[in-house]
């Protein structure tokens, strides 16, 4: 691992300022993704700003009847929270479908949204990757692409977004609350938070330099029955090949998808349709598959059909 | 200020051989990748950080390179080699320890991030004379062959039973509000601990016995 200096800060604004003023600085929260990538030389921060002790670890009811989840709330605590289990079960289901218990005890709500690619070529420093080294090319296109994205891809990158949690957040229309180095704040709709790879796959979200995630807020509950169905290569502790989040009940039908998009995927227009074939056709419009991941088209439709049968 | 890692002779011996100090230890614990080789020779060490850890009830003051993971602090600085380094990337669970009551991968966290916190390792669960019930059950049920993953498996399973007790749901929990012990729950909840010898059925049997379920 490359050398870095370490700093612990006391307030969110101090955190934002510390990262903004230090070239090469990064926030570290749970660290489960960042340290992994630092050991491989893929992430090379010169300075780490530890944001674990800022007190952003509570879940509170909002005046609008929703929930405000502190950015440092661990994935395990978010999944187990009584109101999340009762009112946002799709989020609990998505969280417990991801990673291992040890990782969920450490990984944070804010950090999960920022986790980086799991594409094998992002990890393989002997191969070109536009995410890791902008302009170097994409070894995944024409390479081992079986588990990579079919939606939102570009000729520069076909990496799928790895998060389960973010798929549920997308379905729930969460908002990402942030603080700038000057202390101003903003709330970013989750739909606009992650960016498509386009010509710049190394840019993965709309955060500005030093901008720090303080919380993720959920609007009031949707009601309905909640599902998260994840298809993967083993029964546990693996990234999604295809996942389907669904909330369905009187007056509500929403879907979001993981494993197939370069960001958490949701097509609102498809939610007015009925039947797996029609919905899948609308969701998968514009899909671009490789020979190896073409099966995800049929698998998405079938997984959706299976979830609809459960409802 | 005395640093008690300096007093541990196994460490000192190794460190002396490796040209001493925290830099030597960091070199041992860091895979030397080809692209890092050129920078290794010239890169200066970052300033050290003071870290206080309570490990198995004993307080330790350490002065560490900030790169030192909790796993390396335990093994290389405190000579607590019960905790194992398997993949060093959070994939195998061999490094599982219990920090502030929660199981985590000690390889994927920096020691300095845990300043002032309490850590329980396999050495703190039981002793050869007085095994923790989970250790005894692993012996009784042959819950291992080579034994390399075992400290992680045991720390993980002890914490895992606590999670079931607290009603924390898992991926296989049918009703999120009613968590009930079952073999399926154990298998799912222990999926972060890989056993290359595939002692899984016996690990599940050991955990089942400690939980108090039927044989």
Those residues whose C-beta lies under 8 Å from the C-beta of residue A2, and which sit 6 or more positions away, are A38, A41, A44, A46, B36, B39, B43
In this predicted structure, the answer to whether residue B56 has a pLDDT above a threshold of 50 is yes
The rounded distance, in Å, linking the Cα atoms of B83 and A102 is 15
Nearest-CB residue to A50 (from B104, B113, B189): B113
Distances in Å between the alpha carbon of B90 and those of A69, B12, B38, B148?
A: 25, 28, 27, 15
- Whether residues B136 and B206 fall in one domain: yes
Q: Which residue among B124, B140, B166 closes a domain?
A: B124
**The pLDDT of residue B41:** 53
- Whether residues B209 and B132 fall in one domain: yes
Q: Are B108 and A103 inside 8 Å of each other by CB?
A: yes
Q: Are A103 and B90 inside 8 Å of each other by CB?
A: yes
Nearest-CB residue to A85 (from B166, B177, B188): B177
* Share of residues in chain B with pLDDT > 90 (%): 77
The interaxial angle of helices B133-140 and B150-165, nearest 10 deg, is: 120
Nearest-CB residue to A3 (from B46, B173, B176): B46
- Whether residues B75 and B104 fall in one domain: yes
- Whether residues B62 and B37 fall in one domain: no
- Whether residues B39 and B90 fall in one domain: no
- The dihedrals phi and psi of B210, each to the nearest 5 degrees, come to -65, -40
Q: Are B89 and A76 inside 8 Å of each other by CB?
A: no
Q: Are B90 and A102 inside 8 Å of each other by CB?
A: yes
How many domains is chain B built from? 3
Q: Are A41 and B188 inside 8 Å of each other by CB?
A: no
- Whether residues B86 and B161 fall in one domain: no
Q: Which residue among B124, B148, B177 closes a domain?
A: B124
Tens of pLDDT, residue by residue over A38-90, are 999 999 999 999 999 999 999 999 999 999 999 999 999 999 999 999 999 99
- Whether residues B57 and B100 fall in one domain: yes
**The pLDDT of residue B45:** 76
Nearest-CB residue to B188 (from A5, A76, A236): A236
Residue A43 in contact with partner chain B when CB distance is under 8 A:
no
Say what the ipTM of the complex is.
Answer: 0.97
Side by side, the strands of the sheet bearing B96-99 are B58-64, B49-55, B117-120, B96-99, B102-105
Query: Chain B residues with CB inside 8 Å of A41's CB?
Result: 33, 35-36
* DSSP E strands, B113-204: 117-120
In this predicted structure, the answer to whether residue B34 has a pLDDT above a threshold of 80 is no
**Best residue in A32, A94, A102 to probe B by mutation, most B CBs within 10 Å?**
A102
**The pLDDT of residue B46:** 79
Tens of pLDDT, residue by residue over B156-212, are 999 999 999 999 999 999 999 999 999 999 999 999 999 999 999 999 999 999 999
Strands A47-50 vs A25-28: parallel, antiparallel or unpaired: parallel
Search chain B and give the residue with CA nearest A52.
Answer: B113
Q: Are B66 and A5 inside 8 Å of each other by CB?
A: yes
Report the CATH number that the domain containing residue B81 is assigned in CATH.
3.10.20.30
Domain that holds residue B36: 1-43
A83 burial type by CB count under 10 A (0-12 exposed, 13-18 middle, 19+ buried): middle
Q: How far is A285 from chain B (nearest CA, A)?
A: 31
- Whether residues B119 and B56 fall in one domain: yes
Q: How far is A148 from chain B (nearest CA, A)?
A: 20
Residue B33 in contact with partner chain A when CB distance is under 8 A:
yes
In this predicted structure, the answer to whether residue B33 has a pLDDT above a threshold of 90 is no
The interaxial angle of helices A295-310 and A276-283, nearest 10 deg, is: 140
Report the CATH number that the domain containing residue B197 is assigned in CATH.
1.10.150.120
The interaxial angle of helices B9-17 and B21-29, nearest 10 deg, is: 80
Tens of pLDDT, residue by residue over B127-172, are 999 999 999 999 999 999 999 999 999 999 999 999 999 999 999 9
- Whether residues B98 and B139 fall in one domain: no
Q: Which residue among B24, B43, B62 closes a domain?
A: B43
In this predicted structure, the answer to whether residue B15 has a pLDDT above a threshold of 90 is no
CB A33 within 8 A of CB A24: no
The two most distant CA atoms of chain B are separated, in Å, by: 61
Q: Which helix (H) or strand (E) holds A252?
A: strand A252-258
The average pLDDT across B77-95 equals 98
For chain A, list residues with pLDDT below 70: none
Residue B96 in contact with partner chain A when CB distance is under 8 A:
yes
Query: Chain A residues with CB inside 8 Å of B183's CB?
Result: none
- Whether residues B93 and B70 fall in one domain: yes
**The pLDDT of residue A113:** 98
- Whether residues B15 and B39 fall in one domain: yes
The average pLDDT across B100-104 equals 98
Q: How far is A288 from chain B (nearest CA, A)?
A: 31
Residue A57 in contact with partner chain B when CB distance is under 8 A:
no
Search chain B and give the residue with CA nearest A5.
Answer: B46
Q: Are B169 and A97 inside 8 Å of each other by CB?
A: no
Residue with tokens 């010169």: A46
- Whether residues B133 and B115 fall in one domain: no
Q: How far is B192 from chain A (nearest CA, A)?
A: 5
Search chain A and give the residue with CA nearest B164.
Answer: A80
């Amino acid at each position: 691992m490359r050398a870095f200096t370490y700093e612990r800060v006391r307030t969110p604004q101090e955190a934002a300022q510390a990262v903004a003023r230090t070239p090469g600085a990064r926030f570290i929260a749970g660290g489960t993704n960042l340290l992994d990538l630092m050991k491989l030389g893929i992430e090379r921060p010169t300075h780490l700003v530890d944001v674990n002790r800022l007190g952003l670890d509570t879940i509170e009811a909002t005046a609008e009847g929703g929930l405000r989840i502190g950015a440092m709330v661990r994935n395990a605590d978010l999944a187990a929270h009584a109101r999340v289990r009762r009112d946002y079960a799709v989020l609990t289901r998505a969280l417990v479908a991801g990673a291992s218990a040890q990782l969920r005890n450490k990984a944070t709500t804010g950090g999960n949204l920022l986790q980086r690619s799991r594409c094998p070529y992002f990890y393989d420093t002997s191969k070109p990757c536009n995410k890791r080294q902008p302009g170097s090319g994409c070894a995944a296109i024409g390479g081992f692409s079986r588990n990579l994205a079919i939606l939102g891809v570009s000729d520069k990158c076909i990496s799928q977004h790895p998060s389960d949690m973010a798929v549920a957040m997308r379905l729930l229309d969460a908002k990402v609350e942030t603080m700038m180095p000057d202390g101003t704040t903003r709330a970013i709709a989750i739909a606009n938070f992650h960016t498509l790879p386009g010509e710049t796959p190394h840019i993965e979200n709309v955060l500005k330099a030093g901008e720090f995630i303080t919380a993720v807020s959920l609007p009031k509950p949707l009601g309905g029955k909640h599902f998260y169905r994840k298809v993967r290569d083993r029964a546990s502790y693996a990234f999604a090949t295809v996942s389907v989040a669904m909330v369905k009940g009187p007056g509500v039908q929403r879907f979001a998808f993981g494993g197939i998009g370069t960001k958490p995927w949701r097509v609102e227009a498809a939610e007015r349709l009925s039947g797996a074939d029609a919905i899948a056709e609308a969701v998968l419009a514009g899909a671009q598959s490789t020979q190896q991941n073409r099966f995800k088209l049929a698998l998405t439709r079938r997984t959706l059909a299976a979830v609809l049968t459960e409802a | 200020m005395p640093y008690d890692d300096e007093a541990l002779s196994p460490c000192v011996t190794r460190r002396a051989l490796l040209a001493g100090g925290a830099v030597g230890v960091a070199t041992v614990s860091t895979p030397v990748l080809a692209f890092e080789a050129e920078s290794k020779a010239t890169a200066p060490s970052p300033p050290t950080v003071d870290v206080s850890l309570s490990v198995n009830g004993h307080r330790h003051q350490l002065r560490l390179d900030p790169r030192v993971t909790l796993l390396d602090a335990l093994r290389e600085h405190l000579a607590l080699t019960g905790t194992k380094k398997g993949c060093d990337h959070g994939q195998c669970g061999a490094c599982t320890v219990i920090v502030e009551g929660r199981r985590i991968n000690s390889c994927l966290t920096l020691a300095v991030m845990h300043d002032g916190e309490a850590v329980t390792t396999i050495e703190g669960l039981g002793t050869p004379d007085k095994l923790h019930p989970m250790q005894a059950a692993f012996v009784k049920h042959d819950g291992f062959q080579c034994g390399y993953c075992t400290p992680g498996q045991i720390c993980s399973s002890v914490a895992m039973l606590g999670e079931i007790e607290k009603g924390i749901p898992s991926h296989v929990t049918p009703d999120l509000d009613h968590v009930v012990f079952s073999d399926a729950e154990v298998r799912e909840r222990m999926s972060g601990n890989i056993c290359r010898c595939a002692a899984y059925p016996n690990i599940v049997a050991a955990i089942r016995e400690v939980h108090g379920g039927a044989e």
